[in-house]
Amino acid sequence: MPETALIVLTTLPDRESAQQFATQMIRQNLAACVNILGEMTSIYRWNGEIARGTEHQLLIKTTQAGYPALQAWIREQHPYELPEILALPVAQGLPDYIDWVTACIKN
């Protein structure tokens, strides 16, 4: 059975930190690809108050087997006290692309 691919979401406060974060994940074989989306506004509850900030969403492609190491790395390296880390399983995808993601994480 092929490896399960995941798309992991996290946010960073600015484009520069997002690019550095993504580059390090690729260098350490924690992710095969990271897409950095444009600046967005996030509105959320924090410490009982409604907060607002600008962020960049990262779409991180990894595998189920690689996820524990990726999660630990994000938690350790992330500038936020409580970072968003959500892993979404890929139900279907181009088999060759899934194989590429798997090969990137195993190297």
Tens digit of each residue's pLDDT (9 = 90 or more) over 41-85: 999 999 999 999 999 999 999 999 999 999 999 999 999 999 999
pLDDT tens-place string over residues 5-29: 999 999 999 999 999 999 999 999 9
Q: How far apart are CA 23 and CA 10, in angstroms?
A: 14
Tell me whether residue 1 is in a domain.
no
**pTM given for the model:** 0.94
Domain count, the chain: 1
Residue 3 lies in a domain: no
Instruction: Give yes or no for residue 3 having a pLDDT over 90.
Output: no
Asked if residue 62 belongs to a domain, the reply is yes
For residue 49, give the CATH number of its domain: 3.30.70.120
Q: Is residue 26 part of a domain?
A: yes
**Secondary structure class of 4 (helix, strand, coil):** coil
Does some domain include residue 4? no
Instruction: Please tell me the distance from the alpha carbon of residue 5 to that of residue 93, in angstroms, as a whole number.
Output: 9
| 19 vs 45: CA distance, rounded Å | 26
> Which one has a higher pLDDT value, 24 or 106?
24
The encoded tokens of residue 58 equal 């990262």
Q: Which pLDDT does position 65 carry in this prediction?
A: 95
Specify if 76 maps to a domain.
Answer: yes
Domain, as residue range, for 21: 9-106
